[in-house]
Structure 1
Amino acid sequence: MRNLKLEEIFYLHNQAIFKYLYYLLNDEKLAEDFTQETFIRYCNYQQVIKEGVELAWLRRTARNIAYDYYRRKKLIQFVPFLQQHEEQASPTPHQWLMQQEDAKMLYLAIRKLKMTYRDVIILRKIEGLSIEETCHVLGWNEGKVKNTLKRALIALKKELGGEFHEE
């Protein structure tokens, strides 16, 4: 018997799934549609999903829906990400312009990375998932997550025109 009902699962996780899809797709309407599709699939499979791993299952399903979309469209693009939900002090106009330019350079560099690198950067560095949570979403082992993240950060640093130095 499940402790949480579908409505509770939706209430707890719909924003996280929407945000994740928005990062992947950079399209609010698609993110909304695919969030709905994710929960429809959850509804169909909720009896076989282990309790306590619902969010990982939802993220993995959302990722698969987005990848299917990309495969159908043969279109791979990265979503600009800004953690707008975090409150920040208002920057001066000069600081704001510099931040916008830095963000643009970062987005363009990330856009050049292969999709597996984008995935791990989104989940670990943007979404802030733990290694274990990232393993569940991507279906990878811990070593692959760590190694791919390391390679992704090196590739990102190179795209930004710098050398990567391990510390």
Structure 2
Amino acid sequence: MSIEELFYLHNQTIFKYLYYLLNDEKLAEDFTQETIIRYFKYEQTIKEGAELAWLRRTARNLAYDHYRRKKLIQFVPFLNQDVEVEQSIPHTPHQWLIQQEEAKALYLAISKLKLAYRDVLILRKIECLSIQETCDVLGWNEGKVKNTLKRALLALKKQLGGELDEEV
């Protein structure tokens, strides 16, 4: 696969994941390019069919390294832009305001969770990855992903004052 083909296939996915982690468009673009470049550097060591998991894991490592260098770990607000447009468009200004306030509360609550919880919530509930795909990205076993997600949802529920929609 050429660099153009790989970039075309996966750049949006990797960019979006990095943007969720970094909340910096320029940095997410730079790290997306760096991730693609690293793929070609290590292409021979990557299992066939595991390219996207490898790309996500590499992107995650780049983001974490960035925060370690800055000695700063923070969570980035996200919006799942893949939701059907009908569901995401408020019909009145009042509904829009309520939606914005709920999103702020959710972002704030998630930002207070520990990093492992943030990771599993982004990958499973925002990126909608399967358990196996999440295992591949995080390097965890299936039990750890399930348990961490369960604990993350409980911690998020606690942060939100007991109000948690199961479709987080």
Structure 1 and Structure 2 fold alike (TM over 0.5): yes
How big is the shift at 1:79? Answer: 1.2
1:21 aligns to 2:18 (yes or no): yes
1:160 aligns to 2:160 (yes or no): yes
In the other structure, the counterpart of 2:72 is 75
1:84 aligns to 2:51 (yes or no): no
CA distance in 1, matches of 2:85, 2:97: 15
SS at match of 1:101: helix
CA distance in 2, matches of 1:81, 1:62: 17
CA distance in 2, matches of 1:146, 1:86: 23
Deviates more, 1:135-144 or 1:5-14: 5-14
TM-score (norm 2): 0.92
In the other structure, the counterpart of 2:42 is 45
Aligned length: 162
CA distance in 2, matches of 1:142, 1:76: 26
In the other structure, the counterpart of 1:107 is 107
How big is the shift at 1:97? Answer: 0.3
In the other structure, the counterpart of 1:122 is 122
How big is the shift at 1:6? Answer: 2.8
How big is the shift at 1:133? Answer: 0.3
CA RMSD of aligned residues (A): 1.5
CA distance in 2, matches of 1:88, 1:80: 19
Which amino acid counterpart does residue 61 of structure 1 have in structure 2? T
Overall identity of the aligned pairs, in %: 80
How big is the shift at 1:87? Answer: 4.0
CA distance in 2, matches of 1:28, 1:6: 22
Which amino acid counterpart does residue 150 of structure 1 have in structure 2? K
SS at match of 2:74: coil
Give CA-to-partner distance per residue, 1:30-81, whole Å, 9 cap, x none. 1001101111110100111111110000000000000101111111111111
SS at match of 1:47: helix
CA distance in 1, matches of 2:85, 2:111: 26
How big is the shift at 1:115? Answer: 0.5
Over 3 Å counting, the alpha-carbon distance change for 1:163 and 1:98 in structure 2 is: closer
In the other structure, the counterpart of 1:30 is 27
How big is the shift at 1:85? Answer: 4.0
CA distance in 2, matches of 1:143, 1:157: 21
